[in-house]
Structure 1
């Protein structure tokens, strides 16, 4: 009886696999869904698609199935866009068709479809427009925002000075510094780095960022008006989360890379001394006169590829794309790493090299492949603020301190600890020696 029962189970599994394979075969091919590996029942392609190293897994699949392919996360099909041409075609050239935010359980639970990041349709349009207008009114892209960043950098320098050259982990300081810039915009004030409410906010943001980056981050009727208290609070928190963790993580990763490559740090300091000197603070206007520093800042963002897949998109109707038809509601993953690490545009893309953004004469070289903030209608609304902060914080720190590793630079590990939906640098310590 036991043998018979076991055989029945095996038979049922085989039948399920055959039905799943037949259904997959019928849905994929020219004029249908993009091709991809055959899914297993329930599991889908989770055996082939490893969340711990998603970008590398998807690259291997693209080599087999092409730049547009389908993977199944459980029973749900996901269309993957791999490479500059298809990512640009979808997000930029056909932005209206691919602008909707894809399903992400953490967004549903935390935001309930509200705010900027996880909302869609008219609600998203209204809230995004309102947020951008408000940020501009508060000084986004103007001198007042720059002054807020410069003011906060003074407090950061004070905190670094307190270390007196001893080894420390910069994570907390950088998070507080960047978050205080958003506080000064949204609340009109900054907070002491020891303030309990401020620390609770920082802890919540860190937990949510880790949750989003873990194992797919996952796993009341919508109000008629977009402008109500819950949506305002959700939108403000979106600004904090998007404007704090991403920027502070980028700066933290950048400092680790400068510890790894001290000669690059020296060249930045030489440029700072030549263009800015020591008697005034670096400002955004200096960036055009500091091509090497600007190239390093771009290379940091390119190399780390902080959000490898961008947040998921979707199509709101059956959509013809290349030779295929993507059904309404299908989740779309544009792989930003495939653009940022394109070997034709960036030779030896897995090496940290500022020359990727420099012409032979030393001037700064722009690249259409630079998409760390995504592209199209869903591009990060805080891109301008983030780029100002990253440049000013790194320039200000290096103007005042030389950063020293606590181990031999060759021993420093620069491999991210999370390689799913977000790349986070490994924990490290540094010594900041006053110049």
Structure 2
């Protein structure tokens, strides 16, 4: 029996070796079948981005690791990342949707993988969709004063919820998610929801469940897709499979309502703008990607890309205010001197350098998407003398940039002053890239910046945030849920300012 087992192991290792692509970038030794899963499971680090960045110091700015049978190439370091994503964008700007999303978005054909915009292939369809989405977001106020009113309206609603807490400890994350989701709803659906609306609470919960699902944690599925049909081997897969169709149905119903009341002379929101483009596309075959099915997935992408990440950025910002009361006091002093009790304005951020620097430091020290959304290659490519095969996952290690002591001295120290010059003016650092770089830079970057600034300023204008009495063990070590680096759950007290 032992001889047969040994022979089977030898055959398995031989097969694995013969199947492994040649001339890959260096990386830690990988087990057959399991890859580097055992290494990560016994890692001395509690936080995956730290582990990967430590390995990058050992193996270089281009390194390989295996998640069971999935090949991952990690690109680290500011110069290397910019070189790959900007100078070689045509090679490295594709995306590969998780298999579970391919299944849920269609019949699994190559055509279905282009639905939406986050995971769409890098090509003409994607470029048309992104150009349309950017233009439409601008038309509905992103980067303009017209959207500020909606954000500040949401800030006022959020503040009322905080006042109702009467200074008692609570977790702000659900309320932050509601606020950010409502801003997206106002752009996409043309309306906001009351926080207690059951439909809205259900929508916010679904978005969180989908974004926080991590199919990569399903070890057996990574070994072989057949395990996705076994309950004990596919918990994250089943979470996506259960919740994603519900989100699709919700967005589909909103689109159906819009189509029934559509007036080409009265474009109310993002959905109407797409329906108008869809109408034009019927006359221009070149724009065939503007389908109703595509609209449904694009709306979903706007929520998945924007709601959780922005809310998480604000959640980190409030945590650092608890841990740094001197910074909070200084931010409030600047708000008082520039705004007083006036409604915040994004145009005044240049007059609020310390506040701007504080938010920049929050985005640096705990990057919300430390690996961005993984890239991929449609065809093989060479990089630094190594061969990167088609289909490999490309992880852009933004964490390695923001925690690089050569770029940001004492990177573990929370220090907004690093973004100020000797005269106290805000200085933009080229290596601060929380939204990534290149053609795939976050679609909602400008919207997220507006939301984070205006909501943060509104909250600190009205409240002082403190930890609950006796709480001294707040942690700044995040936890990875999906692609998002989120704070560990914590409570705070929101005390109205006089």
Question: TM-score, structure 2 length as denominator?
Answer: 0.80
Q: Does 1:262 align with 2:262?
A: no
Change (3 A) 1:409 1:304: farther
Change (3 A) 1:36 1:284: same
Which residue pairs with 1:158 in the alignment? 160
Change (3 A) 1:431 1:340: same
1:405-420 to 2 correspondence within 5 Å? 405-408=467-470, 410-418=472-480
Q: Which of 32, 35, 39 lines up with 2:26 in the alignment? A: 35
Q: Does 1:13 align with 2:9?
A: yes
Change (3 A) 1:83 1:419: farther
* Range with greater deviation from structure 2 (104-113 or 382-391): 104-113
Q: Is the 8 A contact 1:53 1:419 kept in 2?
A: no
Measure how far apart 1:274 and its partner are.
1.1
Q: What secondary structure sits across from 2:37 in the alignment?
A: coil
Measure how far apart 1:409 and its partner are.
6.3
Q: Is the 8 A contact 1:20 1:40 kept in 2?
A: no
Measure how far apart 1:80 and its partner are.
1.1
Which residue pairs with 1:329 in the alignment? 391
Q: Which of 252, 257, 263 lines up with 2:315 in the alignment? A: 252
Which residue pairs with 2:415 in the alignment? 353
CA distance in 1, matches of 2:436, 2:159: 31
- Number of matched pairs: 422
Measure how far apart 1:166 and its partner are.
1.8
Q: What secondary structure sits across from 2:213 in the alignment?
A: helix
Measure how far apart 1:15 and its partner are.
4.3
Q: Does 1:139 align with 2:141?
A: yes
CA distance in 1, matches of 2:348, 2:22: 55
Which residue pairs with 1:209 in the alignment? 211
Q: Does 1:235 align with 2:298?
A: yes
Deviations 1:15-51 (Å, cap 9, x if unpaired)? Answer: 4335545665x712xxxx2122332221122222459
CA distance in 1, matches of 2:365, 2:445: 17
Q: Is the 8 A contact 1:213 1:421 kept in 2?
A: no
Q: Is the 8 A contact 1:111 1:118 kept in 2?
A: no
Q: Is the 8 A contact 1:55 1:419 kept in 2?
A: no
Q: Is the 8 A contact 2:370 2:484 kept in 1?
A: yes
Change (3 A) 1:167 1:409: closer
Could you list the runs of 5+ residues in structure 2 that have no partner in the other structure?
Answer: 107-112, 219-235, 239-286
Q: What secondary structure sits across from 1:273 in the alignment?
A: helix
Which residue pairs with 1:55 in the alignment? 49
Measure how far apart 1:429 and its partner are.
1.4
Measure how far apart 1:111 and its partner are.
4.0
Change (3 A) 1:23 1:347: same
Question: TM-score, structure 1 length as denominator?
Answer: 0.91
CA distance in 1, matches of 2:423, 2:301: 41
CA distance in 1, matches of 2:482, 2:189: 33
* Range with greater deviation from structure 2 (354-363 or 369-378): 354-363
CA distance in 1, matches of 2:172, 2:93: 36
CA distance in 2, matches of 1:434, 1:71: 49
Deviations 1:317-344 (Å, cap 9, x if unpaired)? Answer: 2212221222222221111111111111
Q: Is the 8 A contact 2:464 2:494 kept in 1?
A: yes
Measure how far apart 1:123 and its partner are.
2.8
Which residue pairs with 1:108 in the alignment? 102
Q: Does 1:81 align with 2:72?
A: no
* Range with greater deviation from structure 2 (381-390 or 133-142): 133-142
Could you list the runs of 5+ residues in structure 1 that have no partner in the other structure?
Answer: none
